[in-house]
Structure 1
Amino acid sequence: MTPQIEELNERLQVLHRHTQDTPIYNPVFQLGLELSRDLEGGRKSLQDIDGLVSALECEGLKARAQKLDRMLAPIDADRNLTPFAVREGDDFESFAQRWADPMIHVVFTAHPTFLLTPVQSQAVAKAASSGDVNSDTACVAPHERTQITLDSEHDAAMQAISRAQAARDRAVRAIYRSAKSNWPGEWKSLRPTPVRFASWVGYDMDGRTDIGWNTSIRYRLAEKSERLAGYAATLAGIAPDLSARLVNAGEFAGRMAALFGKDMSDPAALSHAANSLTANHPDRLTSLAPIISELEDRAGAETDEDTAIELLTAAAAMRADGLGMGWVHFRVNSSQLQNAIRRRVDPESKLDIASQAALNAIRSGLEAIEPLDANFAALAIESSTAIRQFIAMQQILRHVDADAPIRMLIAECEQPQTVLAALYFAKLFGVEDRIDVSPLFETETALEHGGRFLDALLAEEAFRDYAKKRGRIAIQTGFSDAGRFVGQIPAALAIERLQGRLAEAMEANGLTDVAALIFNTHGESMGRGAHPVSMKDRLEWPLSPWARRRFARRNIRLEPEVSFQGGDGYLWFGTAELALATLANIASNPPREADPDAPTDMFYRRTDLSLDFYRAIRRVQHMHLVSDTYSRAITAFGLGLLNDTGSRRSRRQSDLNADRKMSLRQIRAIPHNAILQQLGYPVNVIAGFGTAADTNREEIANLLTESERGKQMLRLLRSADALASIKTVAAYGELFNSAYWASRPYRGTEEHLTDACLTLAEYLTKDDRAGVFRRLASRLRVDALHLHRLLDATPGSRDGWGTPIPDREEKRRSIGLLQSLRLALLQHMFLRIVQVPVFSRSNDISREDVMEMVFTLRIEDALAQLRRAFPTNFPSIDDYAIDEPSDYPDGGDRGYERIRRDYIEPIEQAYALVLRISTAIANEFGAHG
C-alpha cells in the first residue's frame, strides 16, 4: 500500500471518529470534499488521482484472487484428486454408482458480468492458482476496455469449458486408478461421468434480437470442430486410426461452420451451406456411439493399464460431451411460445392462453400432431422466434450431433399451457425424445403460484408420458430477478419450497422413477444468489439439504445443475489448477446427495416462526421495490456508474425526462444489483432481516442459532453487511444538495469556484435527488438498527460461526477511499460542466440538457454534444487555391481548443476514472452485480 493511500486511510479513520460526537456526520463525503478541494485548488491533479485509483485497483484485484484462494483452498492438485478416490467402506457397486451419473451439471452462461479485462482475469486466476494472493501478482496496469461481443463471450466460454474438461479428465483418471488398485478384475467396466458441462452462449434468445438462427448453427458446428480436435489429440498416441478419423470429421465441421458464417440472407449461400452439411460425406459424423464402443472394447483387451485408462478416459469424455464442447441450452420467452402456439391451435386469437379452453385446444393439438420434416430453407423463412428455435434444434440433432440432448428453457413461464406448447412443437418437429423442456421460475407470480403450476403440469397425461420418455423432469429456478423482486433471502426460501413442491408433485403423479433436474441459475456475488463464504455454502444455498431430502425420501434421483456466469463465473475455471480445485470442492460437497434420515432443521420445524419471518422480510423488500424513493435513488445516475460488462447491454434512456421516472423493471437484475454495490449498500440482501425479527427478536435469534439454514443466512447477511455503508448512500445524495453547493465557497474559501457553485446551487433547487437519498438512507438506518439488535441477540453471529469476514476493516477502508475519490471526481465533473460557455443558438440542445446528461452520467452523450457545439477541427483556408489574398480568418475565433482542454477533456478523464473505481469496488464485493 502506497504512502498516499496510508495517509488517506488514516485521515478517513480520523473523520470516522467524529461520528461519535455528531451522529449524522459523513466521513466519506467529508473526505470526498477534501479531495475535491485539493483537485480544484491545483494541489492534486487528475494524474495524481489516477495514481491513487491504480493503487486501489491493485487492492481490488488482490481481493478477487484472495476470494478464489479462500473458497477453493487447497489448490494442490494431488490433494484435489483425493475426493475421486475409493472411500473406506466402498464396494465396487457403490463406487461405480457414485460416479455413474453427474454429481452436478455446470452451465457456462454469458450474463453481462465480464467486469475484468482478459489480462486482469488472467492475472487474478494466475495469482489464485499459485497461492501468491498477497503480493502484487494479480495487479496489472489497466488496459483499455474493448467492446464485448457475442463472439468474445463465446470464445471465453469455450476456453473455460476446455479447462473444465481437462480437470474432469484428471478426475476420471483418478477414479480409474483408484478402482484398479482396489478391484483389479472389475475396474475396466466402470463408466464414470462425474460432471457434465453445458452452455447457452449463442443460444439464449430471451431478451435478445442479435442472435440469428445461423449464429447458433455456426457456434454448434465450431464447437463440434473444436471438441473433435481435442478428442483426436487425446487419442493420437494410443489410437491413431481413430484419431485420424476424428481429425477429418473436425475439419469438415470447421468448414461447415465457416459456410454458416456467411450471409444467410442470400439464398444461394444458404443453399450451398445446407447442401454441403446434409449431403453424404465420408467425414460427416453425427454420433460418437460407435467410436465410444470401439474405445471401450480396445481398453478391455489392452494389457497396458495406463493405455487402457487413457482409452476409457477418452470414452468417458465423449459420453459426457457428445459432439460438442458440452450440451447446449436454448432459451426463449414464454410470450414467444404463446404467440407461436396461437398460430397452430387458435389462429383467430379468440382464446385467453391461460384459460381452460386454450389448455383443451393444446391437448387436442398434441393428440393430433403429425410430425413434420423441415430443412434449412424452412428455418430461414420462419418468422416466429420460438418455432425457429425448434427447427434449429431439429437440424442440429439431425445433422450436427445426434447424441447430446438439448435443453429448451422457457423464461417467465407461469402457466402449464406454455410448457405444453413447447411439447407441441417438440413433437411437431420430431425431437420430443431429445429435448428437455424446462420452465423458469423467478418472477413474483411464478414463485407464488409455482407449486400449483407444478401440480397442474404433472397432472397432464401428455407431460407425464413425455417425462417418462425423457427420464427426467427439468425446471429452472432463477435467483437474479427473484432476488430483485422479492429479495435474495426470501427468494432462496421461496425457491427451496418450490423445489420441495416438485418432489411432492412427482410422487403424487407416479413419477418417482424419473430424475428431477433442477437448474439453479444463481449469480456469482452476494447480490445475485451465490453465497460468498465457502464453496459448501455456495452449493447448498440454491439447493438446500432440506430440499434435497425431499427427493431422497421419495427415492427420486436428483440432477443438480448450476451456472457459472460470465467473466465472474469463468474465473473459477480460469486455470487448470482452479478448475480441478472447483471440481474437487464440488465432489467433497456433492449437491445431489442428502441423508434421508437426518433430523429436520429447526428452521423448517418451527414454521410458526420461520414463515412469518420470511413474509416480513419479503414485505420490506417489496416496499423498496415499489417505492418511488428507492427507484429514484437507484437510478439517480442512470446506469452511468457501470461499465459495459456484456454483449447484451441494458439500454440507456434516450429521453432526458425518462431518467426521473425510470422503473426498476426497466433495468435487468445484474445492473440493479451492481448499482446497489456501487452506491454502497446491498439492499436486496440486507433489508428487512432485522425489521422482520423486531416483534419476536429473542425467539428468532434462538431459531437462527439452532438452525444450520439460519446460520447460513446469517453468514450471507454478515458478508454483505461487512461491506455496506449507509453513510455512503447518503453521501451520493449530497452531490445534489443545493445548500451544499451554495455553502461550499462560503467565508471566502474557493472564491474561484463561486460562480460555478452558484450555478449548481440555483439549478439543483428544483432537483429531488438530495431528498430521495436522505429518505432512503433514513429507512435503511432504521432497518439496520433492528438488524444490529438481532445480531447482538444471536450468539456467535458476529464471527459467522467459525467463518469470520476476512480483512473486514481493510476492505471497508479500501471501499471508503474509492467512494471518496469518486465523489471528488463527480464534483469535478459537475463543476466543469456548469463552467462551459453557453452554446450557440444553432444547436438543437440546451446547456441545461447537457448538464443533466452529466448529472445522470450519460457522459458519452454529453461529450458528443459538447464536441458538436465546440469543434476544434475546421476547414483551412489553405485548402483552397484562391488567387485573391485574404487576411481573415485571423485566429481570433479559434478559442475552442481551450474549451476542450479545460472542460471537455477533464470530464472525459474524470469519468474514465469513475468507471475504473466501479471495477475496483465490484472487486472488493467479489463480483459484478
Structure 2
Amino acid sequence: MTSVAKLTQRLQELHRTTVETPLFNPVFQLAHELSRQMEAGEISLDDLEAAIAELEVGSLQERSHRLSRMVAPLDEPSNKAALAETLTTDDFAAFRARWEQPNLHAVFTAHPTFLLTPDQSQAVASSAVSGDAISSDVVGSERPQVTLQYEHGRAMRAIAHAQEARNAIVAQVLTHAQATWPETWHELSPLPFRFASWVGYDMDGRTDITWSNSIGFRLSEKAEHLGMYVAELEAIDADHPLLAELRPAALYAAERAQDFSADLSDPAALSIAANRLTASDPRKLLTLAPFIDALESEAAKARDAKRAVQLKTLSAAMRADGLGMGWIHFRVNAKQLHNAIRRRIDPDGNLDLASKGAVVHLRRAISDVKPRRSNFGALAIEASTAIRQFLAMAQILQHIDADAPIRMLIAECEEPATVLAALYFAKLFGIEDKVDVSPLFETETALEHGGRFLDELLAEKVYQDYARKRGRVAIQAGFSDAGRFVGQVPASLAIERLQGRLAQAMQENGLTDVAALIFNTHGESMGRGAHPNNMADRLDWALSPWAKRRFARAGIALEPEVSFQGGDGYLWFATPELAQATLTRIACLRPCATDPDAPKDSFYQRTDLSLDFYRAVKEHQQDHLASATYNRAITAFGLGLLNSTGSRVSRRQSDLNADREMSLRQIRAIPHNSILQQLGYPVNVIAGIGHAAEGNYEEMGTLLAESPRGREMIRLVRAANALASVKTVAAYGELFNSAYWASRPYRGTEGHLTAACESLSEYLVKDDRVGTFRRLASRLRVDAMKLHRLLEHIPDEAPVEGREDKRRMIGVLQALRIALLQSMFIRAVSVPVFSRANDVSRDDVLEMIFTLRVDEALAQLRRAYPVSFPRISRFDLTEPTDWPDGSDEGYEAIHRDFVDPIERAHGLSLRVSTAIANIFGAHG
C-alpha cells in the first residue's frame, strides 16, 4: 500500500468509519498502518519517498493551476485587448489623470518565503504559461542554501520582468493617445506602476546585513538598470548619441559595485573604495533628468510615430525607476530609533518618548538642527543601527542616485515621537527632502491606538511642513503580525479602520493637497501570499473599497502599495508572460481608484452587528494566542516541520538560546502561519467566525451575504476551511500518547517492537502534548460546528476547485509524515544506551527528536557514536604498546540502522511540508 492511488483509496475507506465511530481518526490510522508495514519490513523509506515525490509533483501542479487562474488570461493578444477596453475616454485630461498616477507601487520583499527551489519555481511558472505537466525531475534534489545575495538576485530578476511588462503597457497607452489626440499626446507622461525593494536594506530583526552590503546592492542595481537603458536605446537606434554617455556610466557603476562587494573592514580598503566613488568622474551619473528631457524633446519632433512612442516609453521608465532597479526601502525598529535619539537629545535618559514633553522637545530639536556633512568613514564607525541607516541613505543620495526618494520604514512604531525622531535624523544629515518616513502599524497596540497616533502626528506643524515638501503622507500597514495577534479577519478590519482614520486625519489637518501612500504588506491570508480567489480579492483585502472611498470623498490622491514577497511571491513575475498578465490585471482593476458614489455596503451600516462580530472574532483569536494549550500545541514541534526558506532566521535573534520550550511570540509571523498549515488547521483565519455568530446565525449570515465586504471575508474563510482538518490536529497529538505506544505490541502483534514501544510509553507517560492537542482539537471542533451553521445561511460564491482531491492529497501527505515521525521516534529510542561520549544525555537527544530539532540530535548521536577513530598505526613510534588491543570499531551499524534512517525520514518529512504549502498556495 504505497502508491498514491491506494493510499487515497484507503484513506477514503477509513473516513467512512467516522460515521459509526466519531472519535475515529482516519489520518492517524493510515499513518499507523504505514508504520506497522515499515517496521515489518513490508515497505521501505524508498517506497514512501516514491509516494511523496508523486504528491510533490501534484502539489506543484496545484500551485501552477492557482497561479494561472489568478492572472488569466496569459497570452499577449488577450492582455492587449483587456487593456484596450479600459482606454475608452474621449477626455484627454481625464486620460492623463488616470495614467500619470501609479495604479500601484509594487515592493519586492524577501522574508523566509523562498520555499521552492529554482528548478521548481521555473517549472511552476512554465507550466502556468504553457499548461504542460510538471516533470518529476524537479523534486528530490537538495535544497540550495538561501543567502541574502540569492534573495537579491531573484528580486532583481522579478523586477526586470515587471519593468518589461510595464513598458509594454506604457507603449500601448502612448500608442492609443497618439492615435486619439495627435496634437497633444506628447504632453502625456504615463506612470502606471512604480517598483521598489527592501532586499538588502531591511535591518529590522537582523544583524547580518552590513552597511556596505546595502551600498554594494544599490550600486549593482544602478549598473544593471543602466545596462537595460542602454539595451533599450540601442534597440531604438544603435547609433543614438545618448549611448556615448549611458554606456560609460553603466561600466563605471559596475566597477564601483565591484569595489563595494569586497571586504571593507580594513580602513585602508574602505578609503580606496570610497574615494573612487566620491571622486568627480565624467562617467558618474547622479540624475537622469537631462536624458529624460532629451528623449522627450526628440520624441516630440520625431516624424516616425513608432520611434516617438519608443522614446517616450524609455523616458517613462527612467522617470519611474531612476538610477536603480526601482526605489528602495530601508527598515529599522522603533527601539533602534529611540536609542539613537536619546544619544542626541536625552543622554541622561530622563525623557519619556511616549510623553507630550518628548514631542515638544523633538519639535524644538528639529527646528534648531543644522545639517551635518558625512562621509563613508563616519558610516563605517557609527555604532547605532538607526543612525547608520540615515548615513547610508545620505551617501546613496549624494553619490549614487540623487533623484529616487528612499523610504524609511519604522517597525513597531507606536508613538508620534518616533516619527519625529526619524525626521530629526533626516534633517540632521540633509536628506529630509528625499526620505519618506513611514510608521508601520501591525502590533495589537499600534492597531488599537493607531487613530490617536495619526491625529497627533498629522497635527504637528513640523510634520505637515515635511509632508508638503515630500508631497505625501506615508504609512505601512502590516498584515502578518496583525494576523497572528488578532486573527486574519479582525486584522484586515482593524487595518481598514486605521486607513479610514488616516483619511480623516489628513482632511482635518488640511493635508488634502498631498497624497496618501499606504504600503500594505499583505501578510498571510491563509498562508503568506495565499489569498485564494482572484486578483481583485487579493487587492481589496489589503485596501478595501470602503477605505478607498474615504480618501476619494476627501479629495486625497491615493498611492496604494503592496508587496510581492520572496521567491514564491516572485512567481507572479517569473516569466515575461506572467508579469504581463499580472500587471494587466492590476491595471484593469485600478486599485488606486474607486467610485465615491458607489452604494453603501451594509456591513458598515449595520454596526450593531458588524462591530460585535469583529470584537467577538478578535477576542476568540486573542484567547487562542493567550491560551497555554494553543501555545503548547503550535510550538510542540518547534520549527522542525518547516524548511529553511530565507536568509533571515525564523526565530527572533534574541531568543536563540531558549530551546527547551518556545514561546509563540518567539516565532515570527510567517513560520507561525506555516506551522498552522502543517498541523492541518489555519486557526488564525477560521477560528472565531462561527463563535461570533452564535445565537444569531440567520441575521449575521444575511448581513454577510448581502455585503460585498462580508462576502469577501467569507470567501477567504471558506477557502481555508476547505483545506482544514480538525482530525489532523488531533492526529499529531496521538504521537505523544503513551497508551498508544504501550498498546502497539499488545497481544504480540509487533513483538519485535516491544522494547522500543515500552521505552516510548514510559518516556511519554508524563508528556502533556497528547492532552494539549486533544483540548485544542475539541475547541476547534466546537467552533467549526458553529461555523457550519453560519455558512448554511451564506451562498458559496467561489467553491474551491477540486476541493475533495486537495483534501485527500493533504490527508495522505499528513499520514505519510506521521508515519515518518513514528519511524524516527522508534529509532531514536532504540539507539543503544552505551556511548563513548558519556556526557551526552540520552533523554536530551530524545527530546530533540520529539521536538524535531533533528539536526541537533543527529550531531549529538554522531558525536556519541563515531564511525572512525584515531589509529595507533598512524604514529611512527619506537616504543611498543599493547593498547589498544584491537577491540575498538566504529559504529557503522548504529548509523545504518538508526542515525541514517532518522536523517532520511526527517528529510522526507520536510518534503511533505513543501507539498502541503503548495496546496495551500502559501509562500515560505
The aligned runs of 1:664-679 (5 Å cut-off) are: 664-679=664-679
Query: Paired residue for 2:695?
Result: 695
Give 1:892 shift.
Answer: 4.1
Give 1:93 shift.
Answer: 1.8
Query: Paired residue for 2:506?
Result: 506
Q: Is the aligned partner of 1:205 residue 2:203?
A: yes
The letter for the 2-side match of 1:628 is A
Aligned-partner SS, 2:283: coil
Query: Paired residue for 2:811?
Result: 816
Partners in 2 of 1:158 and 1:895 — Cα distance? 49
Query: Paired residue for 1:177?
Result: 175
Query: Paired residue for 2:18?
Result: 19
For 1:400-450, what per-residue CA distance to the aligned partner results, in whole angstroms no more than 9, with x for missing partners? 001100000000000000000011111111111111000000000000000
Q: Is the aligned partner of 1:9 residue 2:8?
A: yes
Query: Paired residue for 2:439?
Result: 439
Give 1:88 shift.
Answer: 2.9
Report if the CA contact (8 A) 1:830-1:854 is conserved: yes
The aligned runs of 1:241-640 (5 Å cut-off) are: 241-523=241-523, 526-528=526-528, 531-640=531-640
Aligned-partner SS, 2:774: helix
Partners in 1 of 2:529 and 2:600 — Cα distance? 24
Partners in 1 of 2:357 and 2:654 — Cα distance? 42
The letter for the 2-side match of 1:60 is S
Query: Paired residue for 1:188?
Result: 186
Aligned-partner SS, 1:392: helix
Moved more, 270-279 or 772-781: 270-279
Report if the CA contact (8 A) 2:479-2:524 is conserved: no
When the two structures are superposed, what TM-score results if normalisation uses the length of structure 2? 0.98
Q: Percent identity?
A: 65
For 1:235-260, what per-residue CA distance to the aligned partner results, in whole angstroms no more than 9, with x for missing partners? 11425321232121111111111112
Partners in 2 of 1:614 and 1:362 — Cα distance? 37
Query: Paired residue for 1:225?
Result: 223
Query: Paired residue for 2:156?
Result: 158
The aligned runs of 1:66-81 (5 Å cut-off) are: 66-81=65-80
Query: Paired residue for 2:845?
Result: 850
The letter for the 2-side match of 1:68 is L
Partners in 2 of 1:142 and 1:687 — Cα distance? 35
Partners in 1 of 2:39 and 2:522 — Cα distance? 44
Alpha-carbon distance change, 818 to 894 in structure 1, aligned in 2, over 3 angstroms? same
Partners in 2 of 1:589 and 1:436 — Cα distance? 27
Give 1:84 shift.
Answer: 3.6
Give 1:891 shift.
Answer: 5.6
The letter for the 2-side match of 1:359 is V
Report if the CA contact (8 A) 1:488-1:528 is conserved: no
Give 1:882 shift.
Answer: 5.2
Alpha-carbon distance change, 670 to 583 in structure 1, aligned in 2, over 3 angstroms? same
Query: Paired residue for 1:32?
Result: 31
Partners in 2 of 1:524 and 1:611 — Cα distance? 23
Give 1:792 shift.
Answer: 1.2
Report if the CA contact (8 A) 2:539-2:591 is conserved: yes
Report if the CA contact (8 A) 2:475-2:518 is conserved: yes
Give 1:928 shift.
Answer: 3.1
Report if the CA contact (8 A) 1:681-1:724 is conserved: yes
Partners in 2 of 1:267 and 1:649 — Cα distance? 30
The letter for the 2-side match of 1:845 is V
Partners in 2 of 1:530 and 1:6 — Cα distance? 27
Partners in 1 of 2:489 and 2:291 — Cα distance? 48
The aligned runs of 1:723-872 (5 Å cut-off) are: 723-794=723-794, 796=795, 799=796, 801=797, 803-840=798-835, 842-872=837-867
Give 1:605 shift.
Answer: 0.4
Give 1:927 shift.
Answer: 1.4
Partners in 1 of 2:907 and 2:772 — Cα distance? 27
Q: Is the aligned partner of 1:709 residue 2:709?
A: yes
Partners in 1 of 2:653 and 2:315 — Cα distance? 52
For 1:299-358, what per-residue CA distance to the aligned partner results, in whole angstroms no more than 9, with x for missing partners? 111111111111111101000000000000000000111111111111111111111221
Partners in 2 of 1:652 and 1:850 — Cα distance? 24
The letter for the 2-side match of 1:632 is R
Partners in 2 of 1:379 and 1:861 — Cα distance? 38
The letter for the 2-side match of 1:246 is L
Give 1:97 shift.
Answer: 1.6
The letter for the 2-side match of 1:855 is F
Partners in 2 of 1:663 and 1:83 — Cα distance? 50
Structure 1 spans left out of the alignment, 5+ residues: none
Structure 2 spans left out of the alignment, 5+ residues: none
Report if the CA contact (8 A) 2:2-2:47 is conserved: no
Aligned-partner SS, 1:541: helix
Query: Paired residue for 1:907?
Result: 902
Query: Paired residue for 1:235?
Result: 233
For 1:516-562, what per-residue CA distance to the aligned partner results, in whole angstroms no more than 9, with x for missing partners? 00000013652347621111100101100000000000110000000
Partners in 2 of 1:264 and 1:874 — Cα distance? 42
Aligned-partner SS, 2:542: coil
Query: Paired residue for 1:641?
Result: 641
Partners in 1 of 2:600 and 2:531 — Cα distance? 22
Report if the CA contact (8 A) 1:638-1:652 is conserved: no
Alpha-carbon distance change, 16 to 83 in structure 1, aligned in 2, over 3 angstroms? same
Moved more, 578-587 or 186-195: 186-195
When the two structures are superposed, what TM-score results if normalisation uses the length of structure 1? 0.97
Report if the CA contact (8 A) 1:299-1:311 is conserved: yes
Aligned-partner SS, 2:438: strand
Aligned-partner SS, 2:310: helix
Moved more, 868-877 or 293-302: 868-877
Give 1:180 shift.
Answer: 2.0
Report if the CA contact (8 A) 2:451-2:502 is conserved: yes
Report if the CA contact (8 A) 2:837-2:863 is conserved: no
Partners in 1 of 2:500 and 2:136 — Cα distance? 43
The letter for the 2-side match of 1:11 is R
Residue 880 of structure 1 is aligned with which of 875, 878, 896? 875
Report if the CA contact (8 A) 1:639-1:652 is conserved: no
The letter for the 1-side match of 2:270 is L
Partners in 1 of 2:421 and 2:529 — Cα distance? 30
Report if the CA contact (8 A) 2:67-2:128 is conserved: yes
Alpha-carbon distance change, 653 to 240 in structure 1, aligned in 2, over 3 angstroms? closer
Give 1:655 shift.
Answer: 10
Report if the CA contact (8 A) 2:331-2:411 is conserved: yes
Give 1:186 shift.
Answer: 2.4
Partners in 1 of 2:819 and 2:880 — Cα distance? 52
Partners in 2 of 1:54 and 1:529 — Cα distance? 24
Aligned length: 921
Partners in 2 of 1:374 and 1:571 — Cα distance? 40
Residue 136 of structure 1 is aligned with which of 134, 137, 143? 134
Alpha-carbon distance change, 889 to 685 in structure 1, aligned in 2, over 3 angstroms? same
Aligned-partner SS, 1:609: helix
